[in-house]
């Protein structure tokens, strides 16, 4: 009994709404992807156009999916107009560039099959052209993101041959030391997964600045600023993970000369013509510098000088408290060299007012004040004082009158008893 050889043939049978010649996957790419790549619409919009019967390929109507086409040979029409003419019409459309402050848990894509929120959901206005993000930020990252319909500008800002600098503010767990900074600036070898498979590429930071050290309930924290010229997929997170640090927060602060200022999270604004010209100029300058480095004309400045964070230092007595303030010097308390010091008595505190004591070879003697008391004579009842007595409350100056009192009609001196 002979076994029949199993032959795997691609499905080429006729399906409703799809001619047989467009059912072979070896023909090319999917029809909706070809429409999206041509800039006609997004893939979801293209699928809706196909279902509505607006798309023809080589004058054959296609109303179902999947359908595969070869964009270089097949003639694709939308509402009877070839795609290349539609693309030319879109080229004459006004170029728009939007700056968005991307929040967390937001996807940098035009559409998401899982139904998650995208950055285009945050930007909606009347007669809005088809926009796409310039570069990417992962779902957990925040900060500056550009949306545009200008392909040339997007190419200049994202292609590695230009090397436009992008600055990020990063918060990590742990204490970053100088050796770790040197490792980041020298670079590490990371695996990069691209459309043609995985590649081994070297990634490094152009500049690293330490901003702040702190210690919280969860341990040490370090805030730093990192500048990159070639942004690979999750490059900063993978660089820091390679040297043993976990990223807590990552925010993009600038792209070239464009700074993230005055825009709250999830808000956006249009870029001015001047800002767009500055981006083009910065891209040209960065490309010239990148080419000069590749040709060996200049040395790449990757070993940047790091800026140490300002630490709180305890005040000293001779340090001025403000700019232009006079230096205050405090005298040290004198040290007693007497018998009490040898017995282990402590010196008075600074708060108490002390007077300097002269040190002498002789021990200090206690100074006592001599108090002299008046001699009091005891009087007898028969003795009469002839000295006048001042009244209570009278003035101490001037002539004093003797106080008298009447005794049987006569003025008797004070102190004499009645008979």
Please list the active-site residues: 138
**Rg of the Cα trace of the chain?**
47
Residues 6+ apart with CB under 8 A from 359: 336, 337
pLDDT at position 273: 93
Joined together, the tokens standing for residue 210 give 């330490």
pLDDT at position 315: 47
240-255 per-residue burial string, b: 16 or more CB within 10 A, e: under 16: beeeebebeebbbbbb
pLDDT at position 41: 65
pLDDT at position 73: 84
pLDDT at position 340: 46
Q: How far apart are CA 168 and CA 253, in angstroms?
A: 5
pLDDT at position 86: 53
pLDDT at position 368: 58
Joined together, the tokens standing for residue 143 give 């900060």
303-360: per-residue pLDDT in tens? 444 444 444 444 444 555 455 455 555 555 555 555 444 454 444 444 444 555 555 5
Against a cut of 0.95, is the pTM above it? Answer: no
CA distance readout (Å), 330 to 222, 324, 327, 349, 378: 38, 19, 10, 14, 59
Q: How far apart are CA 138 and CA 245, in angstroms?
A: 18
pLDDT at position 385: 52
Q: How far apart are CA 231 and CA 398, in angstroms?
A: 104
> Which stretches of the chain drop beneath a pLDDT of 70?
1-15, 39, 41-44, 84-93, 192-199, 297-419
pLDDT at position 144: 97
Residues 6+ apart with CB under 8 A from 89: none
DSSP H helices, 124-259, are: 151-158, 178-186, 235-242
Q: How far apart are CA 217 and CA 80, in angstroms?
A: 66
pLDDT at position 376: 57
pLDDT at position 380: 55
Pick from 138, 134, 133: which is nearest to 105 by CA?
Answer: 138
Give the domains, in start order, of the chain with CATH numbers.
20-91 (3.10.290.10), 97-295 (3.30.2350.10)
CA distance readout (Å), 295 to 160, 252, 282: 15, 30, 20
């Amino acid at each position: 009994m002979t076994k029949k050889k199993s032959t795997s043939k691609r499905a080429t049978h006729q399906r409703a709404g799809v001619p047989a010649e467009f059912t072979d996957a070896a023909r090319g790419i999917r029809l909706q992807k070809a429409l999206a790549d041509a800039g006609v619409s997004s893939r979801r919009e293209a699928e809706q156009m196909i279902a509505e019967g607006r798309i023809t390929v080589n004058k054959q109507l296609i109303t179902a999916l999947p359908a595969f086409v070869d964009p270089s040979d097949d003639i694709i029409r939308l509402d009877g107009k070839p795609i290349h003419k539609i693309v030319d019409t879109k080229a004459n459309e006004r170029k728009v560039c939007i700056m968005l402050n991307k929040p967390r848990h937001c996807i940098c894509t035009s559409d998401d099959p899982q139904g998650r929120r995208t950055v285009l959901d945050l930007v909606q206005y009347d007669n809005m052209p088809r926009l796409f993000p310039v570069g990417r930020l992962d779902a957990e990252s925040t900060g500056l993101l550009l949306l545009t319909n200008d392909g040339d500008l997007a190419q200049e800002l994202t292609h590695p041959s230009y090397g436009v600098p992008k600055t990020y503010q990063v918060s990590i767990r742990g204490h970053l030391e100088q050796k770790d900074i040197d490792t980041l600036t020298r670079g590490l070898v990371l695996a990069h997964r691209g459309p043609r498979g995985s590649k081994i590429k070297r990634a490094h930071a152009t500049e690293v600045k330490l901003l702040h050290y702190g210690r919280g309930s969860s341990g040490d924290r370090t805030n730093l600023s990192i500048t990159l010229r070639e942004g690979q997929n999750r490059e900063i997170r993978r660089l820091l993970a390679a040297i043993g640090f976990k990223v807590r927060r990552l925010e993009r602060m600038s792209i070239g000369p464009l700074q993230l200022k005055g825009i709250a999270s999830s808000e956006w604004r249009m870029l001015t013509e001047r800002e767009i010209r500055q981006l083009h100029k910065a891209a040209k300058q960065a490309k010239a510098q990148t080419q000069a480095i590749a040709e060996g004309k200049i040395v790449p400045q990757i070993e940047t000088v790091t800026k140490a964070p300002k630490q709180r230092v305890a005040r000293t007595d001779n340090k001025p408290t403000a700019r232009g303030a006079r230096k205050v010097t405090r005298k040290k308390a004198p040290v007693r060299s007497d018998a009490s010091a040898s017995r282990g008595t402590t010196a008075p505190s600074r708060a108490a007012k002390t007077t300097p004591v002269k040190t002498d070879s002789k021990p200090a003697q206690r100074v006592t004040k001599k108090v002299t008391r008046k001699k009091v004579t005891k009087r007898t009842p028969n003795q009469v004082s002839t000295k006048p007595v001042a009244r209570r409350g009278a003035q101490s100056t001037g002539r004093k009158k003797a106080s008298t009192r009447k005794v049987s009609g006569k003025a008797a001196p004070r102190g004499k008893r009645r008979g």
